[in-house]
Chains A and B, each alone.
Chain A
């Protein structure tokens, strides 16, 4: 029987890998996700026949299956409600919460396994795989749970959490707590039967999880979400080492790898190192440039002037920022795009990797507004096309189109990959005012010879432009 169960687990693990492979294209992605869900379903089905469960059932404990099904039912209802209710703009919070639950599950299983072995009188070898993995489950699980909880509170903009929170001596305190955790893990490994060690690890790691996440600023949250995702995978893998289950190890390491890759991509796109993000070091620095000098030559334009530009344009590229989505202006933008397309103009969307609050967030928000995915272009694909673009329309984006990143090696954003909108024939910037973005620096793009400012609130401004185009 055991062989069959493990074989089924292998099929499940294979399905997970195939699921990720199918995520390589939007056309096959839905099928991929369903295959992943199928893999999970058959793994859960197989787990019902695990020897410890069947033995317990045979020895007169029918209640155990009832409890398993009850637990799954409760989790299913809560999970389904969360998945169906969540707004697409709130997706980062949702992912944060789910990460947290994954971490919590790992630390609970690690602890329960330890108590179970002691209650059943099984000897655990000191410094063996089981006990080291148990300590790691508790450690990673607790950091993930509390880190995710804080990340959720920050993204949800709950009062008191929305601002980065730091105090003197924070780094030394974190270092001290980390050392204490390591010492506790060694104690646990040396004295496997000590449950006190386990729950102390969980306690100290919880404090560490909170303290590591509170100083991180809102702009860096995408990295944190990816990292916590990675941790939740590693916690699952650690639990796999505890119960000697390859399916957990494989699935956990896949997720761990995914989170690490995404964190790297986000860090690169923000021009930050992982260390800087983790220790809450601001991007600031660099010489302060007076905004007045930079903005001396800024030109405003009327809706009619911009409509005339659109009229003669053959290719328009729209550059959306998160502000666009918050203002729910993506539907208006799509209407404008449809209008221009109907007049024979090619319209594309240029999406910077950090647009939105988690990797790929902007794409989901545009997809929700029925923007076809073949019109959404990533940075490397769209950048060479700006030279042949008649009008680039920047809405709610600032730092990611700031040419200083290319030209000024002393700028805080120097070296950050940006969308080269300044190479388009004309750049239209829709903005309420000339206020700076996250990096807090002025943007010379706004004063460039080929740039026109259209002042206004995102959604309303786009409607005005649409009316002007229709009246031509």
Chain B
């Protein structure tokens, strides 16, 4: 229960930080915001690495490997495509 409340506190506060910061992103950058936040959601790769790295059975190893691959696609694809888009935004 104790750890859950701590985690929940972090979750709720981070949600508020998210609302505050993201409402300030102008509509002109909403597509890069979506793809960039997508890359951040690939943070699951941390959990995937731990599962794969400590695999107890062949099954958990397989699930972990797939998870690492999927999450890394998310991370690398997300940040790279965001960079590609943002680099096109130029001033006169």
Contacts and interface: CB of A to CB of B under 8 A. Distances in A.
Contact of B77 (A48, A98, A250): A98
Contacts of A67: 52-53, 55, 61, 64-65
A75 B72 contact: yes
Nearest to B54: A52
A20 interface: yes
| 6 shortest interchain CB distances as A-B pairs | A75-B72, A257-B18, A360-B30, A53-B53, A79-B76, A71-B68
A225 B34 contact: yes
30 contacts: A17-B17, A30-B86, A33-B79, A43-B46, A67-B52, A71-B69, A78-B73, A79-B74, A82-B77, A83-B80, A91-B85, A101-B71, A102-B41, A105-B45, A105-B67, A105-B71, A108-B66, A115-B57, A119-B56, A119-B57, A243-B50, A247-B46, A252-B41, A253-B18, A255-B18, A261-B23, A262-B33, A265-B30, A359-B33, A367-B85
Interface of A: 9, 13, 16-17, 19-21, 23-27, 29-30, 32-34, 36-37, 40, 43-44, 47-48, 50, 52-53, 55-57, 64-65, 67-68, 70-72, 74-76, 78-80, 82-84, 86, 88, 91, 94-95, 98-99, 101-102, 104-106, 108-109, 111-113, 115-116, 119-120, 128-129, 225-226, 229, 232-233, 235-237, 239-259, 261-262, 265, 351, 353, 356, 358-361, 363-364, 367-368, 370, 372-376, 378
A232 B7 CA distance: 19
Nearest to B76: A79
A32 B33 CA distance: 11
A78 B69 contact: yes
Contacts of B61: 67
Given A29-B32, A40-B39, A240-B47, 18 more contacts: A21-B24, A34-B83, A36-B40, A53-B54, A55-B54, A56-B53, A67-B55, A71-B72, A75-B69, A80-B76, A80-B77, A113-B47, A236-B43, A247-B43, A253-B12, A256-B18, A351-B27, A378-B26
Determine the interface band of chain B, counting residues with CB < 8 A from chain A.
Answer: 35 or more
Contacts of A239: 44, 47
A246 B19 contact: no
Give the residue among B29, B38, B46, B79 with the most A Cβ atoms within 10 A: B46
Given A75-B76, A249-B10, A253-B18, A95 B84 contact: no
Contacts of B28: 26, 351, 360, 363, 373, 376, 378
Contacts of A248: 43-44, 46-47
Contacts of B29: 23, 26, 29, 360, 363
Given A47-B50, A374-B91, A232 B38 contact: yes
Contact of B42 (A19, A84, A102, A115): A102
A174 B7 CA distance: 31
Interface of B: 3-4, 7, 10-12, 14-19, 21-57, 59-61, 63-92
Contact of B50 (A32, A53, A249, A359): A53
